[in-house]
Chains A and B, each alone.
Chain A
Amino acid sequence: MIKKKAMTGAEAAAEAMRQINPEVVAAYPITPQTPIMHKFSQFVAEGDVDTEYINVESEHSAMSACVGASAAGGRVMTATSANGLALMFEIVYIAASSRLPIVMNVVNRALSGPINIHCDHSDTMACRDTSWIQLYSENAEEVYENNLIALKLAEKVNLPVMVCQDGFITSHAVESMKVLDDKTVKDYIGVYKPKYYLLNIDKPITSGPLDFFDYYFEHKRQQIEAMTKVIPEFHKIVKDLSKLLGKDYDVLEEYHLDDAEYVIISLNSTAGTVKHTIDKLRKEGKKVGALKIRMFRPFPLQEVAKWLTGKKSVAVLDRSASFGSVGPVYHEIRSALYETEAKPKVVSYIYGLGGRDINVEHIEKVFEELENGTAKAENYLGVRDENER
């Protein structure tokens, strides 16, 4: 049964967590993630979940507790943002390297400094090489769906998953969205039966031993190869969810791409603004379209190449910078196109850092610059000129 509800992105994450009913949640408050754990701890206090909720003294401890609980054999979830994610980075890497299927909601926020609490993607993009799967969410409904997908995906490939949503823009804004009933979710996610776990006293194991030049390389190779199984598994997992929610899910979402000549690529909430702008421009007869990236890790290189071949020009919007190189999404897109014959022109726009607004006029400007060929290889969107104050 599907119900329509009004929820913020943070509430959508907490609702998914309530229905998943993880054995352990360990988290530390940080803006703008706090409302997720605020809501979830209410569920714990009211006995709506069976979760052991661990209050910790830092995010480093939060992820450490998650690693311990997951290695012990439990379903484990957490949430964080920006500097919280940065503080737990050491254990984020260990969680993935230990092949623990933890699901973490990350509410995207600019990394300080200078100090900032508003949205950009510098936090999760800094974690793109940690061997976590990354799913990005356009709105509250996708936050909810991505949590369910993430849990199943994680347990299938033994890799942890970050479910990302834009700080404040998604996390604090109320939207109408569809949710499934508790029983349906319970049946969908099934029972978690790890092959090896520390609390299995019949089959004792050692978790986290020394792993030097003798085996570390093989374990990294296993991680590299596990990532190649993620996209095929994703397609299997979303089949049932599609039936339940009457929607299609893919690692990428195309919007009016079939006959589009000019394409904008984005992820998270900006994808919604792009779609809205496309609706407007299509009425004016413009051949514009969009590609939204739901899965950034592993990066769907082949799928991107398939969609972009033959297009005239493509603008990639990056809400984070890789200082000394190009924007992380732009980097991937260009790499995806290297083998293709009919390569479109691809340009980069860095936008929205530290929560700087991105609106319809910005998107219109990008399409305009694509169409009249005035876009440079690397551009900014919505930033002051150097001599402006």
Chain B
Amino acid sequence: MPEGGLIVEAGNSIEFKTGAWASVKPVHDKNKCVNCLKCHFICPEGAISVKDGKIDKFDLDFCKGCGVCAEECPVKAIKMVKK
């Protein structure tokens, strides 16, 4: 085990499923969404993926339910609901 709490391999946050912390999850309304991608860039877990310039999926394995995306969405296209 590395000393001093070092993590000596890079890119291993994929192994840490922060989705386990969440009590709420985002529900995305594709019809309201204007694909400004603000939520994609702002999500602290990188849980919101983009395909062809449009919001694709919310990965609930990593979404920790913080609600930042819902708060920041300019058209209120995201709603947080109980998990």
Contacts and interface: CB of A to CB of B under 8 A. Distances in A.
Interface of A: 97-100, 158, 196, 203-209, 211, 215-216, 218-219, 222, 226
Chain B contact-residue range equals under 10
Contacts of A196: 2, 6, 8
B4 A98 contact: yes
B10 A205 contact: yes
26 contacts: A97-B4, A98-B4, A98-B5, A99-B4, A100-B4, A158-B4, A196-B2, A196-B8, A203-B8, A203-B10, A204-B10, A205-B8, A206-B6, A206-B7, A206-B10, A207-B4, A207-B6, A208-B5, A211-B5, A215-B1, A215-B5, A216-B5, A218-B1, A219-B1, A222-B1, A222-B3
Nearest to A100: B4
Interface of B is mostly: loop
A272 to B, nearest CB: 37
Contacts, number: 40
B7 A205 contact: yes
Contacts of A205: 6-8, 10
Contacts of A208: 5
B3 A209 contact: no
A206 B3 CA distance: 12
A99 B1 CA distance: 13
B8 to A, nearest CB: 5
Interface in B6-32: 6-8, 10
A158 B8 CA distance: 16
B25 to A, nearest CB: 23
Quick one: which of B1, B5, B10 has the most chain A CB within 10 A?
A: B5
